[in-house]
Amino acid sequence: MLQYITSYLDPNTKGTPGDVGNIFWAFVYIVLIFLGLSVAVIAMNWLERKILAHMQIRLGPMRVGPHGLLQPIADAIKLLIKEDIMPTEADKLVFWAAPLIVVITAFTTFIVVPFGPSHAVTDMNIGVLFMLGVSSLSVLGVVMAGWASNSHYPLMGALRSSAQMVSYEVAMGLAVVSAVLMTSLSGIGIYATGSASTGTGTLSMIGIVQSQMMQQTWFAFKFFPLGLIALFIFAVAMVAETNRAPFDLPEAESELTAGFHTEYSGFRWSLFFLAEYSAMIAVSSIAVTLWLGGWLRPFPNWLSGETWDMVFSLFPGLTFLVLAGICFFSTMRMPKHPYFRVQTIGLAGFGAALAVIGLALFVPPVRDRIQDIYWFVAKVAVFMYLYIWYRGTFPRYRFDQLMKVGWKVLLPVGLGVLILTAVAGVF
């Protein structure tokens, strides 16, 4: 048993737990991803409210904990102990199943997300396809939620949502295909285990990143500007796919009160919330993997060499130290009134914890292993910030305009990019 566990840690074992077939480590990875995702959603909740608030000259949550740091936890507790309301006219089974489907599909996609060359639960040779397929299943949950509520506004929200998701899936798929084409075009097809085979591309998430590594370019910058256009199409389509502003019609609160989840409350509602944020992270991970080099650090060609490797490997620790510094700075600025003593100590403690983590990340064995994950998360975080930025800036599209953008703009451009990518690859 113990041998079974330690066998994976053998440096000769290459690949993800799924590839090796080690169930124990696969399970550990699943738990880690689940925990990490939950923490990420909680952090996103706080960050979104804070960033949006500062864009809108407000303070955002300030009361629960220093600078509202405990607000998401307070919200979670509130949601959990709220009364669970199910409309009497609702279709009970479907109403019960809808949030589960949404949340399960959102989490399942993370099986193939590569946080590093071997940091994934498993690596499928159809990774991208699996991810797109599973994440688009969530529309089923949305439609079910709208239907089962047996109410007008949720029904309309669900209809909008299904139409929207279906039409943006097409443009999204075209953009993805153009990225997948790029993996084969240089004549180096890489499969998950790292063995090179000539002439074939790959759909494996890890294979795509490795292919970017071999070709020494991120696909966003390949065949300039084709890669960038494909990334742009994907970036627009993914906002529509996750129902976020400016494409948040299914839950347009000023039109349909809350869209498909109007009738949901308490824990069931929080599942939708969880799923929305997980889905945002999932599609951002696809974008990062396909176009922005996944776990690869920036400027590997320009700033190459051991020194630069060393410098870039310090980034994870430095990031945490900077965060700790911000915490300490805020601690100094806390009001000196005794009422705030607990909060001040808490904030200083939080800063200290971040600093300890930051220092731990400088220790060489940790430093080397954490890098891939750090760069991946950092790139995803950029997309998350964009999501919040959009929400603070854009008005909402109307339904027909949304369809117009999807079918008349993104689809033809996506087709064009796909064809041009193929042509560019031949010459």
Partner 1 sequence: MTDPTTYISHLELGERDETFLDSNELIINMGPQHPATHGVLRVILKLDGEKVLGTECVIGYLHRGVEKIAEHRTYAMFNPYVDRMDYVAAVSNGLGYCEAVEKLLNVEAPPRANYVRVILTELNRLASHQLWLGTHALDIGAITPLFYTFRDREEILKIFEKYCGARLTTHAFRIGGCLYETYDGFEREVKKFLDFLEPKIDEYEELLTTNRIWVERTKGVGRISAADCKSLGVTGPVLRASGVKWDLRKAQPYAAYSDFEFDIPTGENGDTYDRYLVRMAEMRQSVRIIRQAVDRIPEGPIMAKIPKVIKPPVGEIYHSIEAPKGELGYFVVSDGSTQPYRVRVRPPSFVNLQALDLMVHGQLVADVIAVIGTLDIVLGEVDR
* Nearer to partner 1 among residue 52 and residue 424 (C-beta): 52
In whole angstroms, the minimum distance from the beta carbon of 153 to partner 1 comes to: 7
Residue from 97, 176, 172 nearest 138 by CA:
97
386 binds partner 1 per the rule CB under 8 A: no
- Among the candidate windows 94-102, 233-241, 388-396, 411-419, which touches partner 1 by CB under 8 A? 388-396
d(CA 56, CA 33): 33
* Cis peptide bond prior to 246, omega within 30° of 0: yes
Mark residues 223-262: x for contact with partner 1 by CB under 8 A, - for none: ----------------------xx-xx--xxxxxx-----
* Nearer to partner 1 among residue 19 and residue 248 (C-beta): 248
Q: For the chain, how big is the Rg over CA atoms in Å?
A: 23
58 binds partner 1 per the rule CB under 8 A: yes
* Nearer to partner 1 among residue 306 and residue 400 (C-beta): 400
In whole angstroms, the minimum distance from the beta carbon of 55 to partner 1 comes to: 6
**What is the four-CA torsion angle of 207, 211, 214, 217, rounded to 10 degrees?**
-140
In whole angstroms, the minimum distance from the beta carbon of 393 to partner 1 comes to: 7
In whole angstroms, the minimum distance from the beta carbon of 394 to partner 1 comes to: 5
Contact 244, 387 (CB under 8 A): yes
Q: What's CA 98's distance to the chain center, in Å?
A: 22
DSSP string, 375-408: HHHHHHHHHHHHHHHHHHH--PPPHHHHHHIIII
Tokens found for residue 388:
């919040």
- Write the burial class of residue 282 (CB in 10 Å: 0-12 exposed, 13-18 middle, 19+ buried): buried
* Nearer to partner 1 among residue 52 and residue 228 (C-beta): 52
85 binds partner 1 per the rule CB under 8 A: no
In whole angstroms, the minimum distance from the beta carbon of 241 to partner 1 comes to: 18
| Selected binder of partner 1 within 399, 407, 415, 416 (CB under 8 A) | 399
The backbone torsions φ and ψ at residue 189, rounded to the nearest 5 degrees and listed phi first, read -100, 130
Binders of partner 1: how many residues, by CB under 8 A? 29
| Site residues (vs partner 1, CB under 8 A) | 55-58, 152-153, 156, 160, 245-246, 248-249, 252-257, 391-401
